[in-house]
């Protein structure tokens, strides 16, 4: 016996990745439906070797469905997620709507799997921000060993985090710079993204942070440890897919780089690529389509006691969004619903 699964927002970048990953990881599905807004009704999407036609989210009845993976904006989620939850379908939400709700668990399965038990309060589970997800996967095993006091992170985030329109803007701006008459003015972003970097993701807050930076602080505290101090600078870069992060960590206890490297090599969800030679590290190009969170450039920070620097790279459409949602679904199946067996290899 398997699960009845709905993918909401199935025509978007993340929704399509959710369907791909459910198929790749052989999630035990008895029935699956692709849902989208009325304007996308009938659009064909792939699920393994099957083709699904999207159905109308507005009229869909979630009664009898086990779980719904939501990949739509917060406004639409606010309308449809509570209805699905009331119908008995567990919602796994990729938007930011429920991440900071104390009655909704915010989960990265490699980091805080026990939080899954709190799903029943609202029948909703939140998926974290893409930049937070990959960072806490790398921080968790180090925190368990030496207790993290403070994190300083600078992100290098790809345009796919802003959606298809942003990817199109990067592509068209890049071409336009070389073809007279085809120049493209910024519309998705406030400044040119082609051959440029923009230190501004989401809206500005009163204290000078952007909301993306605030998210990394708040979510790390909720997922990993409220005592950890976090400061972030989030930057959009002209990369199509794959987020990178330079992470500086201050520990309460001594932890040398050799032991940290060994710990990370053994940690779930992480691949260490750390050779001190040209090319001995991972860049976004290599991580696209992969499940892992990659860690490179592991080295001591000699300017502080118990300091370490690491470089963290991951496919933001996968671990930063769709993969993490599917891993939550697997965790929900193994620990709570227990209706169908998740394959052993998918448990990692």
**Of 143, 234, 243, 287, catalytic:** 243
Residues 139 and 37 in one domain: no
Give the range of the structural domain holding residue 70, as residue numbers without chain letter: 3-127+321-336
In terms of residues, how long is the chain? 348
This prediction has a pTM of 0.94
Domain membership flag for residue 100 = yes
Domain membership flag for residue 188 = no
Annotated binding residue at 131? no
Residues 247 and 146 in one domain: yes
Q: Which residue reads 């939400």 in tokens? A: 93
**Of 130, 143, 234, 287, catalytic:** 130
Annotated binding residue at 338? no
Residues 150 and 265 in one domain: yes
User: What pLDDT shows up at residue 341?
Assistant: 73
DSSP state of 106: B
Annotated binding residue at 14? yes
Specify whether the CB–CB gap between 54 and 11 falls below 8 A. yes
Residues 329 and 275 in one domain: no
Residues 277 and 329 in one domain: no
Cβ-based neighbours of 277, under 8 Å, separated by 6 or more? none
Annotated binding residue at 309? no
Annotated binding residue at 134? no
Give me the number of domains the chain comprises: 2
Annotated binding residue at 149? no
Annotated binding residue at 11? yes
User: What pLDDT shows up at residue 344?
Assistant: 55
Domain membership flag for residue 7 = yes
User: What pLDDT shows up at residue 342?
Assistant: 73
Instruction: Identify the three-state secondary structure at position 183.
Output: coil
Residues 138 and 278 in one domain: yes
Domain membership flag for residue 30 = yes
Instruction: Identify the three-state secondary structure at position 342.
Output: coil
Domain membership flag for residue 348 = no
Domain membership flag for residue 141 = yes
Residues 220 and 112 in one domain: no
Annotated binding residue at 289? no
Could you tell me the CA-to-CA distances from 236 to 160, 166, 167, 244 in Å, in that order?
A: 10, 11, 12, 10
Annotated binding residue at 12? yes
Sheet holding 124-126, edge to edge: 55-56, 29-36, 3-8, 67-70, 90-93, 124-126
Domain holding 290: CATH number? 3.30.360.10
User: What pLDDT shows up at residue 338?
Assistant: 82
Answer yes or no: 234 catalytic. no
Annotated binding residue at 122? no
Residues 204 and 295 in one domain: yes
* 38 class by beta-carbon count within 10 Å (0-12 exposed, 13-18 middle, 19+ buried): exposed
User: What pLDDT shows up at residue 347?
Assistant: 42
Domain membership flag for residue 190 = no
Domain membership flag for residue 169 = no
Cβ-based neighbours of 107, under 8 Å, separated by 6 or more? 113, 115, 116, 125, 126, 127, 128, 223, 324, 328, 331
Domain holding 81: CATH number? 3.40.50.720
Residues 88 and 237 in one domain: no
Residues 23 and 137 in one domain: no
Instruction: Identify the three-state secondary structure at position 1.
Output: coil
H helices of the chain, where? Answer: 13-24, 74-86, 130-146, 164-176, 211-223, 257-266, 284-287, 323-332
Between CA 16 and CA 26, with CA 21 as vertex, the angle to 5 degrees is 135
Residues 70 and 214 in one domain: no
DSSP assignment of 282-330 equals --HHHHTT--PEEEEEEEE-TTSTTEEEEEEEE-TTIIIIIHHHHHHHH
User: What pLDDT shows up at residue 343?
Assistant: 61
Answer yes or no: 243 catalytic. yes
Annotated binding residue at 39? yes
User: What pLDDT shows up at residue 284?
Assistant: 98
Residues 149 and 80 in one domain: no
Mean pLDDT in order along the chain per 10 residues (348 residues): 95 95 96 94 94 96 98 95 98 97 98 97 97 98 98 98 95 95 95 98 98 98 98 98 98 98 98 98 97 98 98 96 97 89 56
């Amino acid at each position: 016996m398997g699960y009845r699964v709905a993918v909401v927002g199935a025509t978007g970048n993340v929704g399509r990745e959710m369907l791909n990953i459910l198929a790749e990881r052989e999630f035990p599905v008895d029935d699956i439906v692709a849902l989208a807004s009325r304007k996308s009704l009938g659009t064909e999407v792939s699920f393994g070797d099957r083709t699904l036609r999207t159905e109308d989210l507005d009229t869909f009845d979630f009664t009898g469905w086990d779980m719904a993976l939501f990949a739509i904006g917060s406004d639409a989620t606010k309308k449809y997620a509570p209805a699905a939850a009331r119908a008995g379908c567990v919602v796994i939400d990729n938007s930011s709507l429920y991440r900071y709700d104390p009655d909704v668990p915010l989960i990265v399965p490699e980091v805080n799997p026990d939080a899954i038990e709190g799903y029943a309060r609202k029948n909703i589970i939140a998926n974290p921000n893409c930049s937070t997800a990959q960072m806490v996967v790398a921080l968790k095993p180090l925190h368990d060993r030496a207790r993290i006091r403070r994190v300083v992170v600078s992100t290098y985030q790809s345009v796919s985090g802003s959606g298809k329109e942003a990817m199109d803007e990067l592509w068209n701006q890049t071409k336009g710079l070389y073809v007279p008459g085809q120049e493209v003015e910024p519309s998705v972003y406030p400044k040119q993204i082609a051959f440029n970097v923009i230190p501004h993701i989401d809206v500005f807050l009163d204290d000078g942070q952007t909301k993306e930076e605030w998210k990394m602080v708040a979510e790390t505290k909720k997922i990993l440890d409220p005592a950890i101090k976090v400061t972030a600078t989030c930057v959009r870069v002209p990369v199509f897919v794959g987020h990178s992060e330079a992470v500086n960590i201050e520990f309460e206890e001594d932890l040398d780089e050799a032991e940290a490297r060994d710990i990370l090599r053994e940690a779930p969800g992480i691949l260490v690529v750390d050779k001190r030679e040209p090319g001995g590290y991972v860049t976004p190009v290599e991580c696209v389509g992969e499940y892992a969170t990659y860690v490179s450039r592991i080295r001591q920070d000699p300017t502080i006691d118990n300091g370490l620097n690491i470089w963290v790279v991951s496919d933001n459409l996968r671990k930063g969004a769709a993969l993490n949602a599917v891993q939550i679904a697997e965790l929900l199946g193994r620990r709570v619903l227990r209706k169908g067996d998740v394959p052993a290899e998918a448990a990692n």
